[in-house]
Amino acid sequence: MIRKTIAVLFALALTAANCLAQESLPAIKEDFKPSTLNQPGQEYPQVNSQGYARFRIQAPLADSVRVSLGLGGRGGTILTKGEDGFWTGTTEGPMDEGFHYYNVKIDGGKFNDPGALNFYGSVRWESGIEIPAHDQDFYALKDVPHGKVEQILFPSKSTNTSRRAFVYTPPSYEKDKSKKYPVLYLQHGWGEDETAWSNQGRANLIMDNLIAEGKINPFIIVMTYGMTNEIKWGGIRDFKIDPFQTVLTEELIPYVDANFRTLANRDNRAMAGLSMGGMETRMITLNKPEIFGYYGLLSGGLYSPEDLKDKAKPKLVFLSCGSKERPDGVKKASTDLKAAGYNAVSYISENTAHEFQTWRRSLYQLAPLLFKN
Amino acid sequence: MIRKTIAVLFALALTAANCLAQESLPAIKEDFKPSTLNQPGQEYPQVNSQGYARFRIQAPLADSVRVSLGLGGRGGTILTKGEDGFWTGTTEGPMDEGFHYYNVKIDGGKFNDPGALNFYGSVRWESGIEIPAHDQDFYALKDVPHGKVEQILFPSKSTNTSRRAFVYTPPSYEKDKSKKYPVLYLQHGWGEDETAWSNQGRANLIMDNLIAEGKINPFIIVMTYGMTNEIKWGGIRDFKIDPFQTVLTEELIPYVDANFRTLANRDNRAMAGLSMGGMETRMITLNKPEIFGYYGLLSGGLYSPEDLKDKAKPKLVFLSCGSKERPDGVKKASTDLKAAGYNAVSYISENTAHEFQTWRRSLYQLAPLLFKN
């Protein structure tokens, strides 16, 4: 089953390269603006109102410059050199809404776009670009009370080091010092790290906005590094959950319960993850059903009624993916769970693939369902 | 005076490129190890026990690859291509201890080393490399209680946005909920941002270690973005302190005092900064002597007794720089201040230039002197 899950995850990950919105290509509108994820003062990369991306990179003596984003199977976007020594090019079609990782091949080496900010994915800091989405308001930085994202270093005997986690606390956390909060443990995907959910996922802003609108009961989110095994390409084939399960359940959770004002019990503790983080969530919640009361798999596998049989019953099972992934599998699993008497909810992100826009939206859908005891 | 200060800062910044430790070059020892600032799993760049750095970058079809680090005036380190398509090269001499920014010129374009982590400096995310220092223990990640680094988003009416700051709180902050703390406002240099002091500066680890050894009274550190003006090369020529002074003194400080357990008065509030952050510290403390009780300029200008005359007297003036900068100026300014009755302390970081090792050491020297009321 684990092997199968991994195979599915890899298949899903491969579809991510094919992130253009459609194959019939509209004429390009010349209303390009700098991506919101550019480095300060940088004009390129740019994005237009249709979702086309345009790149411009200086390398006057290079022989070839290619951006990894573009139509799947065509090897990305080939840039062409101008007389000024800048290479420019535009994707062959509009891209899906939301965040995309990319990199730049220059004369056969893999580098980043010097105009764009970097985001950790694929076991490297990649360039990132943001295609404005019709629903971007829910993760926008607004003039509302903001929670904090705290970097903590917690002791880990099992790995013999201090490990890093980020902890989101809601705006009210510093006001009423007697109030205790439920906690969501939220995991990144393969090749990412504990920075992913707040950087590319904007989890803190999603929470701030939901709380400001009164749509959720405020809770804490804890995000840590889930690739406790060796970090190598293909290393996931030998994935064993034990090292990370030990870090999470025996070291991080006790540390968080000791250092934050948490409601430290199963009914106030959730675990969710995207892609590989979903696989981890699935394995750990099934191994330790007494620890977590709410489960969320975002493009990260499924539960069957058989999986959950004879275990402490979860208060909620949340399953999601993009419409360009395998939505039928998610819907069917949810239906099967409901038929077996479980509180299961499925969510399909329209017109997105195995990428962060799917997971931003999934968190937005999941958060209001959590901790409704 | 401002114009003169800026000129001095630029002169200092230019010396930073010349960061090799000496001109007589010892034979290279073949004990190279990956830099501690490499991306996960990356073998290059490497550093040997003498402080030489070796680079290895894949770009099989490139015509020229050059790393910006190396002997000043010689344009850095030129890499040569092997049959495997990797370009390799070693600095012509040992580098100064500590952290260095760098980038890679590939066929005339400026990129980053895909093996190294990125750090924001020079108004771009640069590659970073760490030359192990004889005194690296004071900023090492150790098995001691760790404070937190919190990202806050504070409302700023003057710039019409939510602005980001990082706040270090000591390990004891979460224990005794009645205790209040002094605050150091700590500024980065030109082209850097609010991530610099905890990423390349390791300010949180310096504090954790000093506190664990009982060498300081714990305090809070607040780090925010100081380049409130337009971010352009040469923009500092038109530098006006007013926009940042407003953000700091009218927006950030009141926010911190309202949201953290601070001792909200002059004698428990310090300001310090490196390079341009020192220039800002100098201007703001002289404009607003009623707000700050302790001043620190790290490679960032000087105070004269004339500057401080007829103002609320600072409890401490701390001046520092690297021995490869202008140590005589720092020492003389400190002597002059002491002669005029001020509590002035100077510190010279041996064998370092206008770089972060100077500033890590300066913070380590400054912290025990603060808030000794």
Task: Using DSSP, state whether B361 is helix, strand or coil.
Answer: helix
Beta bridge partners of A154: A163
Q: Give yes or no for A63 touching B (CB within 8 A).
A: yes
Cβ neighbours for B297, distance < 8 A, ≥ 6 positions apart? B272, B273, B278, B281, B282, B303, B318, B319, B320
Give me the residue from A112, A150, A177 closest to B177, CB to CB: A177
Query: Looking at CA atoms only, how far is residue A354 from chain B in angstroms?
Result: 23
Token reading at A341: 């008497």
Q: Which of A258, A236, A98 minimizes the C-alpha distance to A167?
A: A258
Confirm if B159 and B183 have CB atoms less than 8 A apart: no
B106/A109 touch (CB, cutoff 8 Å), yes or no: yes
Confirm if A361 and A206 have CB atoms less than 8 A apart: no
Residue labelled with tokens 């986690």: A165
Beta bridge partners of A279: none
Chain A residues with CB under 8 Å of B152 CB are 146, 148
Mean pLDDT (chain B) is 91
Q: Give yes or no for B106 touching A (CB within 8 A).
A: yes
B153/A146 touch (CB, cutoff 8 Å), yes or no: yes
Cβ neighbours for A373, distance < 8 A, ≥ 6 positions apart? A267, A268, A315
Q: Give yes or no for B82 touching A (CB within 8 A).
A: no
Confirm if B167 and A150 have CB atoms less than 8 A apart: no
Rounded Cα–Cα distance for residues B173 and A174 (Å): 13
Q: In chain B, positions 172-201, which contact chain A (CB-CB < 8 Å)?
A: 174, 177, 193, 198
Cα–Cα–Cα angle for B340, B344, B349, rounded to 5 degrees: 140
The predicted pLDDT at position B234 comes to 52
Confirm if B77 and B91 have CB atoms less than 8 A apart: yes
Q: In chain B, positions 254-283, which contact chain A (CB-CB < 8 Å)?
A: 259-260
Q: Give yes or no for A146 touching B (CB within 8 A).
A: yes
Neighbours of B30 (CB within 10 A): 7
Beta bridge partners of B128: B101
A61/B64 touch (CB, cutoff 8 Å), yes or no: yes
Find the closest chain A residue to B151 by CA distance. A149
Chain A residues with CB under 8 Å of B151 CB are 148-151, 198, 204
Give me the residue from B58, B63, B124 closest to A109, CB to CB: B58
Confirm if B189 and B277 have CB atoms less than 8 A apart: yes
Tell me if the domain spanning B24-132 has CATH number 2.60.40.10.
yes
Chain B residues with CB under 8 Å of A149 CB are 150-151
Q: B24-132 and B138-369 share one CATH topology?
A: no
Q: pLDDT digit string (tens) for A36-81?
A: 999 989 999 999 999 999 999 999 999 999 999 976 556 799 999 9
Chain A residues with CB under 8 Å of B106 CB are 59, 62, 106-107, 109, 111
Token reading at A51: 């979702």
Give me the residue from B61, B146, B150 closest to A148, CB to CB: B150
Q: Which helix (H) or strand (E) holds A363?
A: helix A356-366
Please count the residue pairs, one from chain A and one from chain B, whose beta carbons lie less than 8 angstroms apart.
136
The predicted pLDDT at position B74 comes to 60
Instruction: Tell me which DSSP letter residue B116 carries.
Output: B
Q: String of b and e for B323-336 (b: at least 16 CB within 10 Å)?
A: ebbbbeebeebbeb
* Pairing of β B33-34 and β B46-47: antiparallel
- Reading across the β-sheet that carries A104-106, which strands appear in turn? A77-78, A65-67, A104-106, A109-111
**In chain A, at which residue ranges do the beta strands (DSSP E only) sit?**
33-34, 46-47, 53-58, 65-67, 77-78, 80-81, 86-90, 98-102, 104-106, 109-111, 118-121, 124-131, 148-156, 161-169, 183-187, 220-224, 269-274, 294-298, 316-322, 344-349
Confirm if A117 and A39 have CB atoms less than 8 A apart: yes
The predicted pLDDT at position A134 comes to 98
Give me the residue from B61, B104, B124 closest to A64, CB to CB: B61
Token reading at B87: 């370009």
pLDDT-based confidence at residue B14 (cuts at 50, 70, 90): very low
Confirm if B348 and B327 have CB atoms less than 8 A apart: yes
Q: Give yes or no for A336 touching B (CB within 8 A).
A: no
Instruction: Tell me which DSSP letter residue B248 carries.
Output: I
Q: Which of B127, B149, B193, B205 to mutate to test the interface with A (most CBs of A within 10 A)?
A: B149
Token reading at A25: 């290509």
Average pLDDT over residues B43-61: 97
Percent of chain A scoring above 90 in pLDDT: 84
Chain B residues with CB under 8 Å of A124 CB are 39, 114
Rounded Cα–Cα distance for residues A237 and A239 (Å): 5
Q: pLDDT digit string (tens) for B150-196?
A: 999 999 999 998 999 999 999 999 888 899 999 999 999 999 999 99
What is the distance in angstroms between the CA of the first residue and the CA of the last residue of chain B? 32
Token reading at A177: 């010092």
Q: Which of B100, B90, B105 minimizes the C-alpha distance to B53?
A: B90
Q: pLDDT digit string (tens) for B92-136?
A: 999 999 999 999 999 999 999 999 999 999 899 999 999 999 999
Task: Using DSSP, state whether A282 is helix, strand or coil.
Answer: helix
Rounded Cα–Cα distance for residues A227 and A249 (Å): 15
Neighbours of B136 (CB within 10 A): 16
Rounded Cα–Cα distance for residues A18 and A324 (Å): 10
Confirm if A143 and B153 have CB atoms less than 8 A apart: no
Q: Give yes or no for A151 touching B (CB within 8 A).
A: yes
Query: Looking at CA atoms only, how far is residue A106 from chain B in angstroms?
Result: 7
Neighbours of B1 (CB within 10 A): 10
Q: For A236, left (φ over 0), alpha (ψ -120 to 50), or beta? A: alpha
Q: String of b and e for A68-92 (b: at least 16 CB within 10 Å)?
A: bbbbeeeebbebebeeeebbbbbbb
B151/A148 touch (CB, cutoff 8 Å), yes or no: yes
Lowest-confidence segment of B68-72, B118-122, B226-230, B291-295 by average pLDDT: B226-230
Instruction: Tell me which DSSP letter residue B279 carries.
Output: H
Cβ neighbours for A210, distance < 8 A, ≥ 6 positions apart? A138, A216, A364, A367, A368
Q: Which of B36, B39, B120, B125 to mutate to test the interface with A (most CBs of A within 10 A)?
A: B125
A60/B107 touch (CB, cutoff 8 Å), yes or no: yes
- Indicate the fold that domain A138-369 takes in CATH: Rossmann fold (3.40.50)
Q: pLDDT digit string (tens) for B245-281?
A: 999 999 999 999 999 999 999 999 999 999 999 999 9
Q: Which of B150, B193, B228 to mutate to test the interface with A (most CBs of A within 10 A)?
A: B150
**In A122-182, at which residue ranges do the beta strands (DSSP E only) sit?**
124-131, 148-156, 161-169
Rounded Cα–Cα distance for residues A52 and A31 (Å): 10
Residue labelled with tokens 């990356």: B42
Average pLDDT over residues B344-349: 98
Give me the residue from A109, A118, A259 closest to B174, CB to CB: A259
**In chain B, at which residue ranges do the beta strands (DSSP E only) sit?**
33-34, 46-47, 53-58, 65-67, 77-78, 80-81, 86-90, 98-102, 104-106, 109-111, 118-121, 124-131, 148-156, 161-169, 183-187, 220-224, 269-274, 294-298, 316-322, 344-349
Phi, psi of B356, deg, nearest 5: -70, -25
Per-domain boundaries in chain B: 24-132, 138-369
Task: Using DSSP, state whether B289 is helix, strand or coil.
Answer: coil
A111/B110 touch (CB, cutoff 8 Å), yes or no: no
Rounded Cα–Cα distance for residues A94 and A316 (Å): 37
Rounded Cα–Cα distance for residues B204 and B315 (Å): 24
Cβ neighbours for A186, distance < 8 A, ≥ 6 positions apart? A197, A203, A221, A222, A223, A271, A272, A273, A277, A363
CATH number at A2-132: 2.60.40.10
Chain B residues with CB under 8 Å of A109 CB are 57-60, 62, 106, 114
pLDDT-based confidence at residue B233 (cuts at 50, 70, 90): very low
Which stretches of chain A score pLDDT less than 70? 1-24, 71-74, 229-238, 373
Beta bridge partners of B372: none
Rounded Cα–Cα distance for residues A86 and A73 (Å): 25
Q: Give yes or no for A73 touching B (CB within 8 A).
A: no
Q: pLDDT digit string (tens) for A148-166?
A: 999 999 999 999 989 999 9
pLDDT-based confidence at residue B240 (cuts at 50, 70, 90): confident
The predicted pLDDT at position B26 comes to 74
Find the closest chain B residue to A170 by CA distance. B152
Residue B15 reports pLDDT greater than 70 = no
Average pLDDT over residues B5-29: 54
Polymer length in residues for chain B: 373
Q: What does R_g of chain B's alpha carbons equal in angstroms?
A: 21
Task: Using DSSP, state whether B80 is helix, strand or coil.
Answer: strand
Q: Give yes or no for A162 touching B (CB within 8 A).
A: yes
A107/B59 touch (CB, cutoff 8 Å), yes or no: yes
Q: Give yes or no for B155 touching A (CB within 8 A).
A: yes
